[in-house]
Amino acid sequence: MEADFVIVGAGSAGSALAARLSEDGQHDVLVLEHGGTDWGPLIRMPGALSYPMNMARYDWGLKSEPEPHLGGRVLAAPRGKVIGGSSSINGMVYVRGHPRDYDHWAEMGAAGWAGADVQPYFERMENWDGRGEGDPDWRGAEGPLHVTRGAREIPLFDAFIRAGAEAGFELTEDYNGEKPEGFGPMEHTIRNGRRWSAADAYLKPALGRANCRLHRCLARRVVVEAGRAVAVEVERGGRIERIGARREVILAASAFNTPKLLMLSGIGPGVELAAHGIDIVADRPGVGANLQDHLEVYVQQACTQPITLYKHWNLFSKALVGAEWLFFGTGPGASNQFESAAFLRSRAGVEYPDIQYHFLPFAVRYDGKAAAEGHGYQAHVGPMRSVSRGAVTLRSSDPKAAPVIRFNYMSDPSDWRDFRHCVRLTREIFAQPAFAPYRGAEIQPGPDVRSDDELDDFIRAHVESAYHPCGTARIGARDDSMAVVDPECRVIGVDGLRVADSSIIARITNGNLNAPAIMVGEKAADHILGRPPLPPSNRRPWISPRWRESDR
């Protein structure tokens, strides 16, 4: 078995790669994926998002090592083990990231990846429906990825946005458009009331072509001969097979499994490889380093009116919601319920937003395992640009062994300062007149948690990952010793091998990472095919004229 291009991973970036590399019919593309089908109501129903990411059928089940700055807590690190990858189990939130984020990539050596360079790729991938709102000039209308907005029928969604304005912050009609700062509607990858994953948008249409195939197997390593990647060694049904790549192997296996595969293939820190008895093909110390993520806490408030999603927190109502969604594609099950958002600056002197809010008209954990007693609402809030860095390393040379994941969360004093500010800022927003008709007692952290030490204890015990791991095969200049791939996504030191997924992210972007991961697949495909990049955009994002003097 062989193909021109062998892609490891059928997730967000891998699906986009498969579609773009096969669309002209000139190249044979083979996608390798360990996970199974994405069909099933718990994946397809947006309102059921808390279930698939906690199911062994769909999730790799990875966990962090005990986090030293979080009291030794072990945090879940879900990644999709299913067609569509994490786009099939995520929260479906769609955020491009701020153009300045990508400018920073370019400054770090990723030439051709500035905000103006990636803007046309976001436009190419989008099929955007802004419900009559937003910035159509900044958005794509003919791409495969459907991006929509919720109806915001529960009045709390509007209250959150009005409260932001009352607190003196900006409003925005489209944080993915010209003005990526302020309070406004949140966007999601949902179509006709159903999850619209990268598999739906890209992979499934591509598999209808004769030159694109999907192979279910476990990738064990990349075979490198005479300095060139020539095959992928896989396991299927207890047998070891070798799948040849006539042109290139492309890794798109996640920020955890991509560096793991590189190291199993002899590409990574020499000392690490030698410790596991792996022959060194390319000594790249950046493989597995630079691990980043977003953390968030939930600030919860009781609601004095019975208008929240708590009214559906019983078996009878859940059955009705499921039936309405199944037969009509409507109702609470047709939304991820993240329908209002905010991107804010934490203080004067910060040029563009570094805080993200998801607002939810329900007081519940993200995994759905615990709900507050009674009606409530909550804000998921956290800083976007922590300076803490972790690493992914090998547990052993056994390809079936999970990698060692150390995020090193909250290792810098600035993280604690920023999180305390996020909690206090949320309290300020919830105290605005817009919430007066609904505001009950604070549920979490609780009215007695006030001092820095008390807030730190709360943060240490309750902070959670937003599930945005990235950066473990960083893009950069070829002479950068910590870069893993060059600006065309080629692995430095090995021919015929590229990485195109969230691993290459140089510094984490504002917000959720599904959109940037898909964009990476889109742009990498042009590099792989030798096509000239799309012309850079001449649009520039709105930057607050008061950013030097004020946070609002």
The phi and psi torsions of 369 (rounded to 5 degrees) equal -85, -15
* 211 is known to lie in a ligand binding site: no
Tell me the per-residue pLDDT of 395-420, one tens digit each, with 9 for 90 and over: 999 999 999 999 999 999 999 999 99
**Cβ atoms within 10 Å of 153's Cβ, excluding its own:** 12
**Domains observed in the chain:** 1-144+189-288+472-538 (3.50.50.60), 151-185+295-383+411-462 (3.30.410.40)
| For helices 115-125 and 99-107, angle between their N-to-C axes, nearest 10 degrees | 130
| Alpha helix segments (H runs only) across 85-154 | 99-107, 115-125
Is residue 90 within 8 A of residue 336, CB to CB? The reply is: no
* 91 is known to lie in a ligand binding site: yes
Contacts for 309 with CB less than 8 Å, ≥ 6 apart: 154, 332, 337, 360, 361, 362, 364
DSSP 202: I
CA distances from 158 to 128, 180, 342, 361, 435 (A): 22, 18, 12, 11, 10
Q: What is the pLDDT of residue 369?
A: 65
* 512 is known to lie in a ligand binding site: no
Q: Quote the pTM value.
A: 0.97
Q: What is the pLDDT of residue 370?
A: 65
Q: What is the pLDDT of residue 371?
A: 73
The residues carrying an active-site annotation are 468
Q: What pairing do the DSSP bridges indicate for beta strands 439-444 and 464-465?
A: unpaired
268 by Cβ neighbours in 10 Å (0-12 / 13-18 / 19+) ranks as buried
Residue 547 is encoded by which pair of tokens? 């950013």
In three-state secondary structure terms, 415 is: helix
Q: What is the pLDDT of residue 287?
A: 98
Q: What is the pLDDT of residue 501?
A: 98
* 224 is known to lie in a ligand binding site: no
* 109 is known to lie in a ligand binding site: no
Q: What is the pLDDT of residue 413?
A: 96
Tell me the per-residue pLDDT of 5-22, one tens digit each, with 9 for 90 and over: 999 999 999 999 999 999
Q: Which residues of the chain fall below pLDDT 50?
A: none
Q: What is the pLDDT of residue 235?
A: 98
